[in-house]
């Protein structure tokens, strides 16, 4: 498992940091992470478990995160203004981020992939399926929602608990902030190891910590609007996975996603929050693998 950089990716011509795990000849699975989360959010053990089920797994850094291109010359992001309807500070949209993911498939010579997105990665994966359906063998939308702001929204109390206080700047501050954050949004049925959470936050900091880039991602997510009506017209095999105890993107977001997409399957996991706890890797990778295999059989037969 070694990191590489794809250059001149997609219409924006950006650089994308990525890793490949498993047999390149196996069916490909593209993993897309959410706001503020580098490809490290797909733990190496999770990726290996999925590869061992017979898949070629690709994880990558979205734009403005980690070692992919950061849009430092873009306008200053103004999330409160975007929430109020002023989109002038949005320097890109989810459509651009979906085009980056398609561009990475192009760079790797992959015609189509099973696409798995978590949180905002689910928004991007949904947008890929809407705008580039021929590139998506199947869609797995995890811990995600439709863009309809009446569902899947964290409470003000959760947001205050996560984001109150001075911003984390140093490596140690970022590590210290991540441990209570995971306690808030993680899986109450499957507690995280604090030392591992801190260590991985430090690794992410070392790869590229960019709070303004994270804000640009958040602005893009909101500015892209509600996907519900476009999801109703989707003709892609879809599995929706959601934790019953997710407080960052409550279950209403997953239920709305499954209700919008024709024929979508729904897996609700008790005790799971807004993360991928180690104890659930066997179930999650097994369900994703089983679903992708069925989608491939239907695709070949059809």
3-state secondary structure of 87: coil
User: Does the pLDDT at position 32 exceed 70?
Assistant: yes
State which fold the 3-154+211-301 domain adopts.
Answer: Rossmann fold (3.40.50)
Contacts of 255 by beta carbon, 8 Å cutoff, 6+ apart:
151, 242, 266
pLDDT of residue 299: 81
pTM of the complete model: 0.97
pLDDT of residue 1: 67
Find the angle CA(175)-CA(214)-CA(81) to the nearest 5 degrees.
Answer: 130
pLDDT category, 301, cuts 50, 70, 90? confident
List, for residues 222-281, the tens digit of each pLDDT value. 999 999 999 999 999 999 999 999 999 999 999 999 999 999 999 999 999 999 999 999
Find the angle CA(79)-CA(31)-CA(2) to the nearest 5 degrees.
Answer: 110
List, for residues 162-214, the tens digit of each pLDDT value. 988 888 999 999 999 999 999 999 999 999 999 999 999 999 999 999 999 99
pLDDT of residue 42: 98
Name the token pair of 111.
């015609």
Domain ranges in the chain are 3-154+211-301
First CA to last CA distance, the chain: 35
List, for residues 52-110, the tens digit of each pLDDT value. 999 999 999 999 999 999 999 999 999 999 999 999 999 999 999 999 999 999 999 99
Distance in angstroms (rounded) separating the CA atoms of residues 227 and 204: 30
Asked if residue 221 lies in contact with residue 212, where contact means CB atoms within 8 angstroms, the answer is: no
């Amino acid at each position: 498992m070694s990191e590489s950089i794809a250059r001149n990716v997609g219409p924006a011509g950006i650089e994308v940091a990525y890793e490949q795990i498993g047999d390149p000849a196996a069916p490909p699975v593209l993993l897309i992470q959410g706001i503020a989360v580098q490809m490290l959010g797909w733990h190496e053990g999770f990726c290996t478990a999925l590869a061992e089920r017979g898949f070629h797994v690709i994880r990558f850094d979205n734009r403005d995160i980690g070692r992919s291109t950061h849009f430092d010359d873009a306008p200053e992001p103004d999330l409160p203004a975007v929430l109020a309807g002023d989109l002038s500070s949005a320097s890109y949209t989810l459509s651009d981020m979906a085009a980056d993911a398609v561009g990475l498939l192009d760079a790797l010579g992959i015609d189509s992939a099973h696409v798995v997105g978590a949180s905002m990665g689910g928004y991007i994966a949904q947008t890929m399926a809407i705008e580039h359906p021929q590139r998506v063998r199947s869609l797995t939308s995890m811990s995600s929602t439709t863009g309809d702001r009446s569902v899947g929204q964290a409470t003000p109390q959760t947001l205050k608990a996560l984001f109150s206080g001075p911003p984390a700047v140093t490596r140690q501050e970022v590590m210290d902030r991540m441990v209570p954050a995971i306690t808030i949004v993680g899986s109450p049925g499957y507690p995280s190891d604090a030392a591992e959470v801190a260590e991985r936050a430090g690794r992410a900091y070392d790869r590229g910590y960019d709070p303004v880039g994270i804000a640009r991602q958040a602005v893009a997510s909101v500015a892209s609007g509600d996907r519900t009506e476009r999801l109703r017209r989707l003709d892609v095999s879809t599995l929706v996975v959601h934790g019953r105890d997710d407080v960052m993107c409550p279950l209403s977001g997953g239920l709305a996603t499954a209700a919008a997409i024709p024929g979508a399957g729904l897996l609700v996991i008790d005790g799971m929050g807004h993360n991928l706890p180690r104890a659930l890797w066997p179930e999650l990778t097994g369900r994703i693998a089983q679903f992708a295999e069925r989608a491939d059989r239907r695709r070949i037969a059809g």
